[in-house]
Amino acid sequence: MQHQLLAQPAMSIAKLTLQAGESVTCEVGAMIAMSSGFTVETTSRNRGGGGGLAKGLKRMFAGENFFLNHFTATAPNQTLWIGPGLLGDVMHYPLSGGTLIVQGSSWLASDVGIEIDATWQGLGKALFSGEGMFWVKCSGRGDLFLNSFGAIYPVEVNGEYVVDTGHIVAFEDTLNFKIGKAGSSLIGSVLGGEGLVCKFSGQGKLYCQSHNPPSFGQLLGPKLKAR
């Protein structure tokens, strides 16, 4: 599978080129356009792997869809265009046996060899991290496509690093974070508009998004007409 990311960073979409017999698993609703030589299969399982009802439900809790779409090319050089729901960036991450922890709703597509599972982040983090209650855990080998709200920028962490809640897209499982306050005092943190932050520690790559959907929603919401 070859891939090409277009129109970055604000309106990014991914163009995937698959050869006959190759498959890719996409988030429901991610497909924008495709060649005619694809078969599409919708299930709650990982392709050829386990899963089913329980995995589907876990995915739903993590902010993803119960179902997955598997696109399989039946002819050479078939193109598939996929894109996220919100405006923002798409990134490619080659997974080589490790595990990437992805914020719920940021997973877009992956090779069929990658296992998609939801993982609980603990009560304290679930309440305060500004992300979903669950994270999507991607493990295995192959290409992984993630989307964000706004642009994505990678950070190489070795030691400690601080990210505002709601700005995390993904991080490698060699990193961990805890919730803390931005300043030395809680009142200062709240007045400074930062409130609680995620304090990362360990070594590995961290991907952040330039904007966060809840803040955008809070700005936009009051201006919308009541339905």
Partner 1 sequence: MDQTFSGGVFTETIDGGRAGAEIELLPSGVGARTPDGEAFVIPYRECQVEVGGFSGRMVFCRNADRSLTIFCESPKFAKALSFASSGMLDDQLTSGLKKQRGESRRGFAIGTFFVIAMLLLLVGGYFGIRAGARSAVLALPVSIDAQIGDAAMGSMDLGGPKLDDEVVVGAMQSIVDRLAPTAAIEGIDFRVHVVESNQINAFALPGGNMVVYTGLIRNAENPEQVAAVLSHEMSHATLRHGVQRIGQSLGIWAGVSLLIGDVSGLMGSAVDLMQVASVNSYSRAHENEADREGVRMLHAAEIDPSGMADFFEQLEEKHGDVPGIFAWVSTHPDHASRIASVRAQVAALPSHEYREIEVDWPAVKRRVDEMDGREIDQQPNADQENAEVE
Q: Which two tokens stand for residue 153?
A: 């920028």
Q: Which residue has the tokens 């039946």?
A: 74
Strand-pairing partners, residue 162, are 199
Secondary structure (3-state) at 217: helix
Q: Enumerate residues 132-161 that contact partner 1 by CB under 8 A.
A: 156
Min CB(44)–partner 1 separation in Å:
25
Q: Which amino acid is at 39?
A: T
Sign of CA dihedral 137, 142, 148, 153: positive
Task: Determine if 176 is a binding residue for partner 1 (CB under 8 A).
Answer: yes
Q: Which residue has the tokens 């696109």?
A: 71
Q: Which span sits near partner 1 by CB under 8 A: 34-42, 68-76, 80-88, 125-133?
A: 125-133
- The secondary structure element, H or E, covering residue 42 is strand 38-43
Q: Which two tokens stand for residue 188?
A: 């200062």
Count of other CB atoms within 10 angstroms of residue 13: 19
Min CB(179)–partner 1 separation in Å:
8
Q: Which span sits near partner 1 by CB under 8 A: 28-36, 56-64, 67-75, 197-205?
A: 197-205
Task: Determine if 42 is a binding residue for partner 1 (CB under 8 A).
Answer: no
Closer CB to partner 1, 90 or 175, in the complex:
175
Q: Which of 164, 179, 181, 213 binds partner 1 (CB under 8 A)?
A: 179
Closer CB to partner 1, 36 or 96, in the complex:
96
The whole-angstrom separation of Cα 193 and Cα 195 is 6
Q: Which of 202, 210, 211, 213 binds partner 1 (CB under 8 A)?
A: 202
Task: Determine if 186 is a binding residue for partner 1 (CB under 8 A).
Answer: no
Q: Which span sits near partner 1 by CB under 8 A: 3-11, 83-91, 185-193, 200-208?
A: 200-208
Binding mask 75-104 for partner 1 (x = CB under 8 A): ---------------------xxxx-x---
DSSP label at 150?
Answer: B
Q: How many residues can be counted in the chain?
A: 227
Nearest to 182 by CA among 168, 197, 165: 197
Contact footprint for partner 1 (CB under 8 A): 96-99, 101, 119, 122-127, 156, 171-176, 178-179, 201-205
